[in-house]
Amino acid sequence: MSQAASEPAVELRDLVKHYVEPNGETLVAVNRINLTIYDGEFFSLLGPSGCGKTTTLRMIAGLELPTSGSIVLYGEDVSERPPYRRPVNTVFQRYALFPHMTVRDNVAFGLKMRKVAKDEIAQRVDDVLRLVRLERQGERRPGQLSGGQQQRVALARALVNNPEVLLLDEPLGALDLKLRQAMQEELKRIQREVGITFIYVTHDQEEALTMSDRIAVMNEGNVLQVDKPYDLYEEPATRFVADFIGETNFLNGVVTENDDEISHVRLGSGQTAHVTHEGKVLPPQTHVTLAIRPEKIFVGTGEPPKVRNVFEGTVKNIVYLGTDTYYDVELPGAVMVTARQQNEDYTGTAASAAVGDAVYVAWRAHNASLLTE
C-alpha cells in the first residue's frame, strides 16, 4: 500500500475523551491524539489494557462522543453524526450473533432493517458469505458453528453493509492460538480482496506486527509512535515502545563524545559502547538508555566478530527454548545483558558454553537504539 498514492480515510484531530468517575474525578481515556489513516490501509492500535484503544474506536464509530477534537472521514467532519450516518462498521470481540437466526439471516439483518430490496439482499449475502468462505453454512445457526466460523459471520455482517472503513476491536481475542493465526491470514486476505480501510485494535504485539501496514502504539491515552512494523521494532522511539514490542535489553549510560556517525556511551560497567546516532546527536553528559534486542547480540567463545561492540562477561543463566537459547551474561559492574541465539551448529556461537564460563557478547553499532525517554 503506498501512502503517497492514497487519500486520508480517517483523520483524528486533537481527539480527547474524558470520563467522570463515580467519585467525581475526571479520567482521561484519550489524551489529544492526532492520527491520519490512509485509504486501504491495515492500521492497528496497539497498547496495554486500558490505554484507550476501544474508546478511540468507539469515537470513530460514533458510539461515543469526543469531549473535544474532531473526526474526519474522507474529508468530511463526522464528529456530530450518529453512527448509522458514518460509512463505518464495527466487529467486536463478542460477536453478539442472534442465536435463533440462521447465518444468512444474521448477515441479512441490517439490510432488511434498511428495507433493501429482497433480490439485492440475497445477492449481497451470497457474495459476502463466499468472501468469508461460509457459503455452505448459510442455513446453520451460530450454535452449530466453530468459534472461527462465528467470527466470520460477524465479519460478514459488518462487510455486507459495504463500509468504507471497518473497525475491528480485538476480533480474534476469544479464539485459541492456532485458530487465531489462521484467522489472521483470513482477515488479511479479506482486506486485500475488498480493499477497504481496516482499523484493528489489539494488545497482542505479534498480531499487530504480522498484520498491519502501520501501527500506532498507545499508552495511557497517548499515541507514542506511529510506524511500519519494521521501523517500530528496529527503531523504537521510546523505552515504552521498545519494551512493549518484543524483548529488549536496556543499558543505562552517559554520552561521552560524538563522531560523524557514532555516539560513544559510557555504560554502568565502565565500558564504552558505540552506537550509530542517525543524526540525532546528543551532547556529552546526556543520560541515555541503549535498547538492544536479544537476537542482535552475539555470544561467543572463539574469535570475536569484527564489530564495534565486544564485551567480555560471564554466563549466569542459560535457557534452552528448542529453536533458540537465551544466555544471561554479566558484564563488569553487574550489568546484565540477555542474548538470544538460534540453535544451529553452523556458526561459532557459545553453543557449548555453560553457566560460569567466560564469553564475550558483541553487537553492531546500528543494532542499538539511543533513547532519552
Which residues of this chain interact with ligand ATP, rule CB under 6 A? 19, 27, 29, 47, 49-55, 203
Which of these, 173, 112, 113, 179, lies nearest to 145 by C-alpha position? 179
Using DSSP bridges, classify how beta strands 197-202 and 42-46 pair: parallel, antiparallel or unpaired.
parallel
359 closest CA partner among 312, 322, 321, 293: 312
CA dist., res. 139 & res. 39, Å (int): 35
* Residue 369 interacts with which of ligand ATP, Mg ion, none, CB < 5 to 8 Å by class: none
Q: How far is the CB of 154 from ligand ATP (least distance, A)?
A: 17
Q: Give every strand in the sheet of 165-169, ordered side by side.
A: 88-91, 165-169, 197-202, 42-46, 214-219, 222-227
Distance from C-alpha of 168 to C-alpha of 181, rounded to nearest angstrom = 16
Please say which residue, 29 or 37, places its beta carbon nearer to ligand ATP.
Answer: 29
Instruction: Identify which of residues 106 and 202 has a Cβ nearer to Mg ion in the complex.
Output: 202
d(CA 66, CA 201): 18
CB of 203 to ligand ATP, least distance (A): 5
Residues in binding contact with Mg ion, number by CB under 5 A: 1
9, 12, 41, 54: which one contacts Mg ion (CB under 5 A)? 54
The letter for the amino acid at 244 is: F
Measured between alpha carbons, how far is 153 from 137 in angstroms, rounded to an integer? 10
How far apart (Å, rounded) are the C-alpha atoms in residues 46 and 356?
40
Nearest to ligand ATP of 53, 277 (CB atom): 53
Whole-number minimum distance, CB 112 to Mg ion, in Å?
30
Q: Does 219 bind Mg ion (CB under 5 A)?
A: no
Q: Which does 90 bind (CB under 5 to 8 A by kind): Mg ion, ligand ATP, none?
A: none
DSSP 8-state code for residue 249: E
Our CB check for Mg ion shows the closer of 54 and 212 to be 54
Give the burial string for 333-365 (b: 16+ CB within 10 Å, else e). eebebbbbbeeeeeeebbeebeeebebbbbbbb
52 touches, from ligand ATP, Mg ion, none (C-beta below 5 to 8 Å by class): ligand ATP
CA 308 to chain centroid: 31
- Which of Mg ion, ligand ATP, none is residue 55 near (CB under 5 to 8 Å by kind)? ligand ATP
Q: How far is the CB of 196 from Mg ion (least distance, A)?
A: 22
Query: In angstroms, what is the minimal distance from the CB of 341 to ligand ATP?
Result: 33
Residue with cell 466453530: 146
Looking at beta carbons only, is 203 or 274 nearer to ligand ATP?
203
- Cβ-based nearer residue to ligand ATP, 29 or 131: 29
Shortest gap between Cβ of 151 and ligand ATP (angstroms)?
Answer: 17
Euclidean distance between CA atoms 192 and 40, whole angstroms:
8
Quote the DSSP letter at residue 84.
Answer: G
Query: Given the complex with ligand ATP, which of 53 and 364 has the nearer CB atom?
Result: 53
Output 54 or 263, the one with its CB closest to ligand ATP: 54
Looking at 14-22, 30-38, 52-60, 336-344, which segment touches Mg ion (CB under 5 A)? 52-60
Minimum distance between the CB of residue 205 and ligand ATP, rounded to whole angstroms?
Answer: 12
- Residue 203: name its binding partner from Mg ion, ligand ATP, none (Cβ under 5 to 8 Å by kind): ligand ATP
Residues that bind Mg ion (CB under 5 A): 54
